[in-house]
Amino acid sequence: MRITIVGTGYVGLVTGACFAEMGNDVVCVDIDEDKLDRLRQGIVPIHEPGLDRLIEENTAAGQLNFSSHLADALADTQVVFIAVGTPPHEDGSADVSHVLTVARQIGETMVSRVAVVDKSTVPVGTADRVEETIQAALDERGVDIEFDVLSNPEFLKEGAAVADFMRPDRIVIGSENEDSKRLMRELYAPFSRNHDKIQFMSVRDAEMTKYAANAMLATKISFMNEIAALCDHFGVDVENVRKGIGSDQRIGFSFIYAGAGYGGSCFPKDVRALISMANDADLGGELFRAVESRNRQQKTLLMDRISEKMGADLSGRTFAVWGLSFKPETDDIREAPALEMIERLLAAGARIRTFDPKAMEPAKRALDHLDSSRITYADSPFDAVTGADALLIMTEWKNFRQPDFRRLAESLKERLIFDGRNLFDPEIVANYGLRYIGIGRNSERL
């Protein structure tokens, strides 16, 4: 099948590479010529396990191409996916202007029937606006070309996106057009061989499903963080509570880890978009507001703990920070709790020594407005610890999970670990003479 993907961001690249891997002819379209040149050379702008190999091999095989000319790509395509960004407005509502711009360009350049698929996360009703925009452009040209607009939201986890695309839990397709349904079933057949994973529904149902999925996961995280706050107050270990409720099959273990809050490009943006949609519908959205509020509080919680243990004025203090990305196996630092912590520590007078396996360069760019003389980007986790008073764990990378605690005890002046991801067992850490402050658990209750 001949496929066009508009947008070479996280979703567009993964979608294009995975479809090409299955033998389809894919053209990824973007307006950034420098980015396209780098992609043709195999230089992938994001860290996503397995993606660079897929792009390199399928580009070499001629099944994956990159272009800045949408008209050329549409000349011989059956499906065009819109995979551009939908950043939030100041009020939290999703900005779909990029989606509508692409829709207009499709209407201005299409020459034959095409299925237009919204892959971007968009508010309910966006497909209607896309259809109206394309039709208006066709009317201006005075041509009558058949097209259909579908919704096919992505459910990819950063750090496991390729695996998620290749082995999806479900494939949600919003369409009322039987021809488009047959086309999408054929396209996704290689990803649905074990059992039928395709779920057809209305376009609006599919648009809402994406938001509901992310909001549910964010709610589980904020719920567990609220429980952790109670655990701190009553001297309870939240890890035992997590195991106790997670073993209930109705709840499960996924997304019930207490921590320093969620970040990334999806959960924060999508929860705020739901709040905006609830406002527009005069429904209040109290639950979504509570999820967002708890997450905001969670990102500053460790700063409160640091102030309790070390004082509000941190002048002359040095903190090692392990982890900068919002989660492991990605270099995405958007709304990462680590960046907010670093800003707050610097504002309190502290110095920072930090290390992340993949996100150092994006973090440098994101923090370049701060006093760079007080931030050291270390070469390794223990290089970051050199001369530090205390250690903060902000991302649960695997190579942070079993450090040499004896070496940490010798290196940290205050022998203090603030664990924003509950990676360590307080009892084990205490056995090495270290003090441990986690989220809903600490060594002082032993």
Q: Which residues are tagged catalytic?
A: 266
Which one, of 377, 296, 291, 283, lies nearest residue 335 by Cα? 296
Contact (Cβ atoms closer than 8 angstroms) between residue 411 and residue 388 = yes
| Residues pairing with 353 in the sheet | 320, 376
CA angle 414, 418, 423 (to 5 degrees): 125
- Between the CA of residue 289 and those of 210, 274, 279, 329, what are the distances in Å? 18, 9, 11, 29
DSSP-assigned states of every residue in 135-181: HHHHHHHT----EEEEE----PPTTSHHHHHHS-S-EEEE---HHHH
d(CA 207, CA 204): 5
CA torsion angle for 162, 163, 165, 169 (degrees, to 10)?
Answer: -160
Which one, of 303, 287, 221, 234, lies nearest residue 445 by Cα? 234
